[in-house]
Each structure stands twice: as C-alpha cells, then as structure tokens.
Structure 1
C-alpha cells in the first residue's frame, strides 16, 4: 500500500478495470466531475456505465488490452485477477496501477475527510452521514459502496470541503486514507482469507486509528466489544480524541430507547429524538454514529436529528423489493454471521407476530469454513431457512467445504437448489409473513423473481 497520496492532477488519463463495480464507479464519478479524463471497462454492460459515459467517460464492454488506449494510470480493485488482459498489459507497459482506494485517496486532497470503517454497517453508516449532511445544508463529496435511494447515486462531488467515504478493511486498503474523523462501527474477525488471524484484523484497525491527526477524532461503537477495545487502546495512548456512541452508560453519544420503533440520542445531557425510517437496533446505532459525525462538523444537533429522518436505506441493506399476497420481500447484503443476525432481527421487528423466511447464499468458501456454526445459529432465528450453494466470488473451491457445513447444524432449515429456491420459499410463506434474501452474491436476483411470482399468484 502506498504511504503518500498521489496528486490528482498527476494521474493523467485514468482507466478503470471493472468500472461497473459499485466501489469503482464511485471513484470514477468523482474523477469525471473533477475534470479528470476517465475511461473504463467491465465484463458486463451495467447501467452505471451508461451514466458515466453520459458524464464524459469512455466506456468499453468486455476486457481487451486495446481498451487502455492512452491511459497514464490504471485503477484496479481487489476483485480483478492478475491474468486480466488489461491489467497484464498495463504492467507490461509500465503504466502505474493503483488500487481503487489509492485512486479514491487522490480525490480527497484538500478536504476534511470522514471515513467509516467496521466489519459491518459501513455502507449504511456512510450513507446516513452523507444524507444527513446534504439535508442539513452541507454539500459533501461522498463515495459509498452501495447505491443510496435518498441520494440517487453512490458517489458525487460536492461543493463543500467535506469528503465522506466508506473505508473497506477487507484487503487492508482502508490504510490508504488520511481521515480527520474516523468512525468504527465494529471490529470482528472476518476476511481471514486476507488476514490469516483475528489478531491481524484487530491490528489493522489499530493502524487505521493511528492515521488520525492530533486534531482528529475516533468515533467508536461502545456496544461492540471489538470497537470498544479499540477505543480503549487509542484513548490510553493519549494522542487522539476518542468518542464512544451507543447504549452503554459511558457513551458520549448515548442512544436511548423511547418505546417501540422510537429512539433518541443524548449528548451532554440534552436529548434529541430521531425519526428513523429504517428498522433494527443496528440502524439506530448507525444513526447515532452519523449524528456524532455531524456534531463534529458543526451541524446544529436539531438539524442533524431532523435530517436523519430523510434516510430511507442503502441498496441491498434490508431493502424492500416488493410485496404481493400480503407477503413482503426484502433483500440484504449480509455475508457475516453478525450481519445475518442483524438482518433477521430487523425482519422480526417488521414481521411482528408473523413468520420470517430466509433464503441465504453463503459467500466465499473460506468464510463458510470459518463461520459455519455461527451462520447456522444466526439463521435459526428464522422460521424457515433455505440455503443455496456457496457463491465463490474470487475464490477457488476448497475440498470438503460446501453449504452442508451450515445446513448440518441448522435446527430447521435445509439446502435448496437454485431451480427450486423460489418455489420452496413461496410454499413456506403465508399472508403477512416476511421473506428475506440474504448474501453478497447473486442471491439478490431472487427477490424480484419472488415478487413476480407473488404478483402472479395474487392475480
């Protein structure tokens, strides 16, 4: 990883390999709006590529070394394999290749940077901060790893000097940023395919917090053991101001339960009600973090509280896909046991006394191997748990690692084929129930298919 930020004006024409990805397109959007010549390619023709083309980027569908053109800099994310023809050609030609995070860091120069890190909740919390600031009158630049309906896009260049970005720890690339405010939602063992051990994960968050300058601040969740421990370590060093948010008695931004579906935050003895449109305790905690960021940036607390009411969720974060026959269908990107548990808890709060049915697709062989028992325990919160085959993403199969590692530990759930999944989950659901599709792979495509079938049954 690089230690110093590359000046944006020195990059020349920038070519993005995999420009259709939500993270890559976010950086490309900001560069285009800043006047940087941008080109890019992706294996599929995705809607965001048409947006970028309309904004002035040169876009190609399919990977070919000729797509590089006269690029002076190439940007590639962790998902791009070494044998990608464009990446291979760039390296052979000696063209500098930046990780997506390095390219994003180049766009942050001269800004007050807010980065949101954590094993879970990054996209939602970053989205909340961006929506809050925009609604409160600030006009931040933002880059988010999800599309946000309330913003219309996943990234935009604002007029103010505030830059809000999601900081991804999965490959250690969050160490490329220079934040003024760093939010840590939680710290848990994950991405062990990269880190190897839980201790290495914790150490990386220590390094992340160490990026803060003397005038910076760490906002850590007091309700999460890992984030709380991080806050303690940072505070003991005395170099960085630390604020904790959550329901704990010693939280500086304390989240209060005001009854069913209602919460408030108390800061320095003053209580501010929050009118949230998103369910779940995890979302209330994310809102408390966003509120804390806003106060640090000088936003009036009452304006901050009111602005949070405009947040309607991030794409694939307990996103309502539709309903029919009295059954509501949601989709969630959850791919770690803690996230699955949070998504199912949110579904329970929405379903009331009705049932919750989940269609889950494990993501990565290594993650399934490490957390099979924890996934099963989380999925048992549902009334019905149907499990698809593992989505491999960037990994090759691991002998002996299949979805049965999870299903063998479920008390009420079983493996289901891709062909039978929609039919099976619809057979389980009755009027008033909630269906939830969960995972970071292509399970998201099942939601619309389920809604379509429900509409057909209704008709």
Structure 2
C-alpha cells in the first residue's frame, strides 16, 4: 500500500498512541522498537506470529496476530496508524483508521518522525544497505558515539534491528524501493551502489538513478556523501554530487590498506566495500580510525546476510537475502570461498513478479556459479500473480546441465537439497521471502537443528 507522506511530518511527541500494521516486518519492527524505547504506547498486528512479535511484546507492545478493526481499540484522532508497504488497500485496520480520522503514516514518515531530533546518517543503495548500516552502527558504538539506529535486519551480536542510544547520531537504513529515502532530513549519507531495481516503482533505470540524485541533493550543506566507486552508478552519482558542490568521499574495495589487516566476518569484495564505506563515514564524522576499526573487526554479521545457520551431516548451511542478480553474484562469490573444496548448492526463491519479469534470466545466469541449483516457486509479496511470470524464467536460464537444476515448492525444497547434498558441501539459501525457512529444515533432516519458525521478513 502506498500511503502518502504528509506535507508536515509530526514530531514524535505528537504521535499519541501508535498502532503499526505489519509490525513484524524488518523495517516496521525497528520503528516500533524505537518508539517503545522513547516511551510511546505501541500496538500492532501482523499476519503470522514470530519471534519478532514476541520480542516486541516483551518490550511492552500489544501485538495481535491477524488483522481486524477491533485491534485499534479506542484509538482516536490524536493517535497514529503506521502502515507497512506490504499491507493491501483492503486491510480492515487501515479502513477503520480512515473512518475514525486517525493520522495515517507510511513507514518512511514514521521513521522520519522518530529520527527528527537526531543528526541522521542515512545508508542508501541498491545492495548492501543493511550490512553497511550495521557496520557503521557497530563502528560508531566502538568509538563511543552512542548512536541510535534502525536497520533492516537483526544484528547477530544483539539480536535486535533498532535501539536508542544516548548520542546525537541516528544511523538509518534508507530504503529506495518506495521512495522512503527521499523523506528523511539527512546530515550525511552513504550510497553503496546504484543498480536499477524496483522498476515497478520507478519505471526506468534513468528515473531510478535520478532518485538517488534527489537523495544526494537533500544532504545538509555541511554534511557529506560517501560513495563506493567500484559501482558505475555510484561513481556517476559521486561525480554529479561533487559538481553540484557537495562534499564527497569515495571508497573502493581495491584499497588494500584502509582496513589495516582487519579480518572481516565474511569474504567478498562487496562486503569489503561496505566496511570501507562505514569506516570513511565514521572518520568524516570525526571519530578515530583505530576505534572505528575495532568496531568493524568485532562485527559478527546481520541476520539473513551470509548468516551461518549451522552444520549437520558434514553439510554447512548459510542463508542470505540476495534477490537481485548483482546480489546473487556477490553472495555466490563469498559462498564459493567459504565452501573451499566442497560443492556449493544453492536454493533460490525469486521475489516479486515485477522483478522476476525484468531480471529472471539474469538471476538464472548468476546462479550458474553454483554446482547445483534448486529454484523455488515465486514469492509474490505485495503483488498479484501473473501466469506468464513464474520461477521457470529463472530455472531455465541457469547455465548448468539439466540434472543439476531442479524446481521445488517451499514445502519440498529442503528434501530436494538433502537428496543432493553430501559431506563437505555448503548449502546456501537465497531470497527475500520465506526461503529462510529452508535452511533449518535442511539441518533438521540431516539430524541437526529442530524445526522452528522464521521471523523478520522484509516489508514487501
């Protein structure tokens, strides 16, 4: 659902009681955490229960499973409804809020409201936002900055995706998918890359790139922009921003000295570039390199970003959020290093009809770097099904022999992987949807971890 951003975003103190529809999502749950930490009365609903919902209950939120107008209780005109982009127009809680005259905000405006009294450092880009936001957060924590933060995934070290710190900085993952990153008042920013995506929102690659220009134009005049010039789109953005008089700092994964021997949590040039961008931003903010590097070295990852799920039967299992051809390529490079002498088996779940229509063949090509591939059914998220767009667009483009490519449902994917796996292999599950459930099922079938629910799926 595309709820319009109000002309004036209310401050946190004016939101009253807040009900968040889709509160279990990666972005919305972080906003809820910050609101609870700032003393607001918070309620919400989501389609299914999860550890994320229970964690919010433990922090004081009233959280319902399922959507019903009755969940709004006695909220009135001085209170606020926040709506995830994953929620449909016919949602009964949204309809009831409109009937009552409640203030209704999209998640972008809600995040802007909770950040309004802090100095915002926003991390944008097509790929790597969550990892870079996480790295910058832990680096600033190590440097004593005490930042508040909102990330699109849970930090492995803390198990949370957002918190309020005592310092003046607020580090935020800035999502371009629905234009949310254009809503924030930003002191400084990182752009990891500009690689066309979300064309259901932007229409053309040119319009998508222009949105990043608008984002850069909104940075405070006394702030700065960090860009990774390994990516052509980000390099062009840096040139345009510098020509417009912006203070621009560039980084490249080819810089062999900047991380000074720090061993990162995962291999891969894209992760190295994320760490370099976080380091550069921290230094531009005035913090000591040694302290920032100590934080980066301590980083143990973020949930669903090359996350080790366990090992059973001699098979290691990892899970990652990659859902775009560039992201698939990067994570398969990292996984190949981690696999060592073993084979790499990948289960991929295409995400969104619109993305699969445009990039399905490229996704398949990227998956060809694996030894065996299992392609799951398409995860629809916020879009309606299209009979002409299925996971076959991906599977048929994988450049591997036919006996090394399979299609499976979510229910059969784990068994399909286990049939193919042997000791020494690495299994990687990829995608932005429910594929994250497959890794634990693989481990269970191999005699490892028990089955358990997944949580923290993206907001659409």
Out of 418-427 and 389-398, give the one that drifted further: 418-427
Match of 2:416 in 1: 424
- The question of whether the paired residues in 2 share the 8 Å contact of 1:131 and 1:151 is answered with no
- Per-residue CA shift, 1:148-172, capped at 9, x if unaligned? 1123311101011110010000011
- The question of whether the paired residues in 1 share the 8 Å contact of 2:148 and 2:166 is answered with yes
- Per-residue CA shift, 1:248-275, capped at 9, x if unaligned? 6xxxxxx31xxxxxxx41xxxxx73323
Residue 295, structure 1, aligned to residue 283, structure 2 = yes
- The question of whether the paired residues in 2 share the 8 Å contact of 1:131 and 1:150 is answered with no
Match of 2:193 in 1: 186
Match of 2:457 in 1: none
> How much has 1:188 moved relative to structure 2?
1.0
Out of 155-164 and 5-14, give the one that drifted further: 5-14
Report the Cα distance in structure 1 between the residues aligned to 2:409 and 2:17, rounded to whole angstroms.
Answer: 46
Match of 2:443 in 1: 451
Q: What are the ranges of 5 or more consecutive residues in structure 2 without an aligned counterpart?
A: 450-460
Query: What TM-score, normalized by structure 1, do the two folds share?
Result: 0.92
- Please show how residues 51-450 of structure 1 align to structure 2 within 5 Å: 51-71=55-75, 72-238=79-245, 240-247=246-253, 255-256=255-256, 264-265=257-258, 272-412=260-400, 413-450=405-442
- The question of whether the paired residues in 1 share the 8 Å contact of 2:366 and 2:398 is answered with no
- The question of whether the paired residues in 2 share the 8 Å contact of 1:29 and 1:155 is answered with yes
- The question of whether the paired residues in 1 share the 8 Å contact of 2:410 and 2:435 is answered with no
> How much has 1:229 moved relative to structure 2?
0.7
Q: What are the ranges of 5 or more consecutive residues in structure 1 without an aligned counterpart?
A: 249-254, 257-263, 266-270
> How much has 1:3 moved relative to structure 2?
4.8
Report the Cα distance in structure 2 between the residues aligned to 1:426 and 1:45, rounded to whole angstroms.
Answer: 28
Runs ≥4 residues deviating over 4 A: none
Match of 1:6 in 2: 10
- The question of whether the paired residues in 2 share the 8 Å contact of 1:180 and 1:213 is answered with yes
> How much has 1:59 moved relative to structure 2?
2.2
Report the Cα distance in structure 1 between the residues aligned to 2:134 and 2:50, rounded to whole angstroms.
Answer: 22
Q: Give the RMSD, CA atoms, in angstroms.
A: 1.6
Which residue, 15, 19, 24 being the options, matches 1:15? 19
> How much has 1:419 moved relative to structure 2?
4.3
Flag the 1:56–1:422 CA change in 2: closer, same or farther, 3 A.
closer
> How much has 1:57 moved relative to structure 2?
2.1
Match of 2:455 in 1: none
- Per-residue CA shift, 1:385-436, capped at 9, x if unaligned? 1111111111111231111112222222232344442232223222221110
- SS of corresponding position for 1:455: coil
Query: What TM-score, normalized by structure 2, do the two folds share?
Result: 0.92
Report the Cα distance in structure 1 between the residues aligned to 2:326 and 2:227, rounded to whole angstroms.
Answer: 17
